[in-house]
Structure 1
Amino acid sequence: NAWDFQIPYFSKKYRCISFDHRGTGESDKPDNAYSTELIARDAVWLLDALGIEKAHVAGTSTGGCVLQNLALDYPDRLRSCIFTNTWTKADPYMTRLQTSRKQIAQAYGTEEYIKFSSLWTCGATQFHNMYENLLELEERQKKTIAPVEVLVARLDMTLAHDRKDELGKIDKPSLIIAAKDDALTPPYFAQELHGFIEGSELVVLEEGGHYSYRRSHGEWNAAADSFLSRVGELS
């Protein structure tokens, strides 16, 4: 349900496809075999299965790291990239945060993990203003969340991701979207990614937290729509 506010909007112009990464949603949840490179390969296999040669691809959070791998390892499959609320390489701040999330899951289980994670993914203003919506989202998460061992494996995967020294090789039209109040992947990561990718565009939203594409979907959609309209003829 991550792209609930994007698919109805963009499907008026484009064929829209979203998928659950391995270890999330309704996809299989093996105990191990997690890396952003492997999920990028899963995405390519999905394109192959659907008969899609090239696509505009948007990736949020971990999906943004997967998209870095796609752009570096499978550039011929991409028309353009939209990176949102993502990072380049875990720094001390993110390492401490993700380690804390892992420890919460191991010590207290998935329900407390969901509650704790909401503090970081929403941003204080969004948490306050949209609390009832947040509770509804948490209930939905409880139905599909992975077992603790899979959560831990995926959190370790986020800390292991590192293509930072290669990001300057990405040559696809790229839009990078961040939110000022994203406490999980602060906007300095977006600024860093923007600096690496020549010709990329950077949009920093006033608020939206880590789920800016949901919390500030109007502004997010407008930025992405403008970008896709401009790069569509070039790709």
Structure 2
Amino acid sequence: MPHAAGLWYEWHGPEEGEVLILSAGLGGSGSYWESNLPSLTERYRVLLYDHRGTGRSDRELPDASVEAMADDILALMDALGVARATVIGHAAGGVAALALALKATDRLDSVVAVNAWLRPDRHFLRCFELRLALLRDSGVEAYLRAQPLFLYPANWISDNLDRLDEEAARQLAAFPGRETVERRIAALAAFDVGDRVAEFRVPIFALSARDDMLVPSHCIDAFYDTRGGIGVMGVGGHACNVTEPQQFALFVRNFLDHEIYPAE
């Protein structure tokens, strides 16, 4: 398996395409983006990777902070000779992309932050507390079986229970350990750049789902006045790119092509 800077990675799409780096959420696995590869690889050179401490990347996690997640994206770019790229990040990957945009403006063409946030929100902090309680008191399997309740709409869960059970089994086999998960959650809960919105110098497209059960869509309202702007999907839940891949692709491609977004 290919590794660079301690991170597992995988290329998709035409070699001559503009580079898109896809950064997953708390689970950290590049395979999270599988539903989106068909639409994004028609034109773009897509780079998937597993976050440090998870999946097929190095399991040692000396620094779990969001800033370290951003540094890992930059280290991967350096190791693979990628001068500039657009980063599409979901939740944890989204805030890592925002952190990178504040420290390495010259390396980014733009950022798409999906169901991300600028500062801690009371609702998602409570959700994290509940998920940690499940992990600590009921164990890893219960934590993973409850995870879809935070990620997907109820109808989608009902229609995809077999798929979710299979995913839970794979996630259990590859679970990074309680300490790693707890440290990553603590890092996400501490991320706060709410007072630094004016410092962004690259186009930031903040995409949220109105029915996200984990991160309220108002967490990205401050991006109304930034280059790039905001898009709100009416449905899709926290993992809206998985549940509504075609609608997600429309928002993202419109932004990448024209720096505009479709009406809700």
Aligned twin of 1:210: 238
Aligned twin of 1:172: 202
What's the secondary structure of 1:18's corresponding residue?
Answer: strand
Could you tell me which of 232, 246, 249 is aligned with 1:221? 249
Distance 1:209 1:139 in 2: 22
Aligned twin of 1:11: 41
Aligned twin of 1:24: 54
Return the structure number with greater relative CO, CA threshold 8 A, min gap 6. Answer: 1
Please, what is the CA RMSD of the aligned residues? 1.6
Aligned twin of 1:51: 81
> Which letter maps to 1:217?
P
**How far 1:125 moved relative to its partner?**
2.8
Is residue 161 from structure 1 mapped to residue 191 from structure 2 by the alignment? yes
Is residue 99 from structure 1 mapped to residue 109 from structure 2 by the alignment? no
Could you tell me which of 63, 76, 92 is aligned with 1:33? 63
Q: Is the 8 A contact 1:122 1:208 kept in 2?
A: yes
Distance 2:159 2:217 in 1: 21
**How far 1:31 moved relative to its partner?**
5.5
> Which letter maps to 2:147?
S
Q: Is the 8 A contact 1:109 1:148 kept in 2?
A: no
Q: Flag as ranges the 4+ runs of structure 1 deviating above 4 A.
A: none
Q: Is the 8 A contact 2:151 2:214 kept in 1?
A: yes
Matches within 5 A, 1:143-154: 143-154=173-184
Q: Is the 8 A contact 1:55 1:78 kept in 2?
A: yes
Matches within 5 A, 1:108-187: 108-187=138-217
Q: Is the 8 A contact 1:68 1:167 kept in 2?
A: no
What's the secondary structure of 1:33's corresponding residue?
Answer: coil
**How far 1:92 moved relative to its partner?**
1.8
> Which letter maps to 1:229?
D
**How far 1:32 moved relative to its partner?**
4.8
What's the secondary structure of 1:178's corresponding residue?
Answer: strand
**How far 1:199 moved relative to its partner?**
2.7
What's the secondary structure of 1:56's corresponding residue?
Answer: strand
Distance 2:33 2:144 in 1: 19
Distance 1:136 1:224 in 2: 29
What's the secondary structure of 1:93's corresponding residue?
Answer: helix
How many percent identity over aligned positions? 28
Q: Is the 8 A contact 2:121 2:219 kept in 1?
A: no
> Which letter maps to 1:50?
L
**How far 1:34 moved relative to its partner?**
0.4
TM-score normalised per structure 2: 0.82
Distance 1:191 1:214 in 2: 23
Q: Is the 8 A contact 2:123 2:216 kept in 1?
A: no
Q: Is the 8 A contact 2:89 2:95 kept in 1?
A: yes
> Which letter maps to 1:65?
V
